[in-house]
Chain A
Amino acid sequence: MKALAGILVVIFVILAALAILHPLAPGKITSAIGFSNDKPHIKHAIAYFVLALLSLVWIRFQTNAGKV
């Protein structure tokens, strides 16, 4: 589970970077996920960063799981 949380951190940071760089052509899906190049997608980037942060918290809980 700790590895999964680590993978999620990396994925969400990449998604946040893509939302900031917004490199793709506008479309329904690319606009919805915040990657379309019609405008910067700050809300999407913040949402992805928050999810990355929560994944880090999950790692923290996993690290101490089982300790008394």
Chain B
Amino acid sequence: MTFAQALFLAVLQGVSELFPISSLGHTILIPALLRWSVDRSSESFLAFVVVLHLGTALALLVFYRREWIAIGGALVASVVRGRLSDARYEKIGWLLVAGTIPVGLLGVFFESSVRSLFGSPIPAASFLVLNAFVMFFGEWLRNRQFADSARQSRPIEAISYADAVKVGLAQGLALLPGISRSGSSIVAGLLVDLDHEAAAKYSFLLATPVILAASVLEIPKLFEPAAHVVAAQAVTGGILAGLTAYASVAFLTRYFEHNDLRPFGWYCLLAGGAALILFTTKVIS
């Protein structure tokens, strides 16, 4: 992997981790489409990816720093008090805990087997197309739910713990390369009556501990001898991934105030469909 390729992958990671277009799918498809000889299972590449994820997680933590301070304080206070209340940040904090359990367990138990089964371009392109239909279906279902009744959107803290688990399970679908973490959890958020803005915010908050834990647990890989080879690429890439992730979350929080998932659905359908044709017809092998 050259320095320029590393920087490109860092920007790709920072953008595609938070846009509902699947970072994992893109990091499989784009190097394959560009015929880069990137060994995704090498120690040096894994160390590089750990730093990119750390950069992304730190960007999310910084962007939502006020929320995380309030949530952390409220969680500690509720444990010390020994009672749950309906205070906004305390409820959001426990909803995030409830939602993180299923996605965390799915990741710990099934990540390596899912990656070994589907971590190649054709499954990734197929799941990217499926990701498009998940978003189209989610928007259609939500419009139908809200067209026929006086149903109203709810704030995040008004959803139930069962709903939080459903959103967490939906986020677990992102283990499949091509299925977007934010896309699946925003769709699940919409279906439990959050509006787009709240569903996106909840999705980003829910993603933060997952991405952070996944990267922190892999930190030992940074101390492998192979990681020293890519130290400069990793540090530069991590900073770049963090900056682009911050810009992405800033853009998306504004975007979802008035817009929906359909443009991302069209992108995934076109990109995934084109990649699927190129790989299945062996134009690119």
Contacts and interface: CB of A to CB of B under 8 A. Distances in A.
Contacts of A31: 112-113
Contacts of A47: 104-105, 108
A65 B109 CA distance: 33
Contacts of A22: none
A46 interface: yes
Contact of B83 (A33, A43, A64): A64
Given A43-B108, A47-B104, A51-B101, A32 B113 contact: yes
Interface string A36-68: 000000111011001100100100110111010
Contact of B109 (A32, A42, A63, A67): A32
B101 A61 contact: no
B26 to A, nearest CB: 25
A33 to B, nearest CB: 7
Contacts of A28: 113
Given A32-B110, A54-B101, A67 B83 contact: yes
Contact of B82 (A32, A42, A60): A60
Contacts of B108: 34, 43-44, 47
Contacts of A33: 109
Contact of A60 (B79, B101, B104): B79
Greatest chain B CB density within 10 A among A28, A31, A34, A47 is at A47
Contacts of A51: 101
A31 B114 CA distance: 13
**Looking at chain B's contact residues, is the secondary structure mostly helix, strand, loop, or mixed?**
helix
Nearest to A68: B83
B214 to A, nearest CB: 9
B81 A64 contact: yes
A1 to B, nearest CB: 13
B271 interface: no
A63 B112 CA distance: 39
B84 A61 contact: yes
Contacts of A50: 104
A63 B82 contact: yes
B97 interface: yes
A67 B97 CA distance: 24
Contacts of B104: 47, 50
B34 interface: no
B87 interface: no
B148 to A, nearest CB: 38
B217 interface: yes
B97 A54 contact: yes
23 contacts: A31-B113, A32-B109, A32-B110, A33-B109, A34-B108, A34-B109, A43-B108, A43-B217, A44-B108, A44-B109, A47-B104, A47-B105, A50-B104, A54-B97, A54-B101, A60-B79, A60-B82, A61-B83, A61-B84, A64-B81, A64-B83, A67-B82, A67-B83
Interface of A: 28, 31-34, 42-44, 46-47, 50-51, 54, 57, 60-61, 63-65, 67
Given A43-B217, A61-B82, A67-B82, 11 more contacts: A32-B110, A32-B113, A43-B108, A44-B109, A47-B108, A51-B101, A54-B101, A57-B79, A63-B82, A64-B81, A65-B83
Interface of B: 79, 81-84, 97, 101, 104-105, 108-110, 112-113, 217
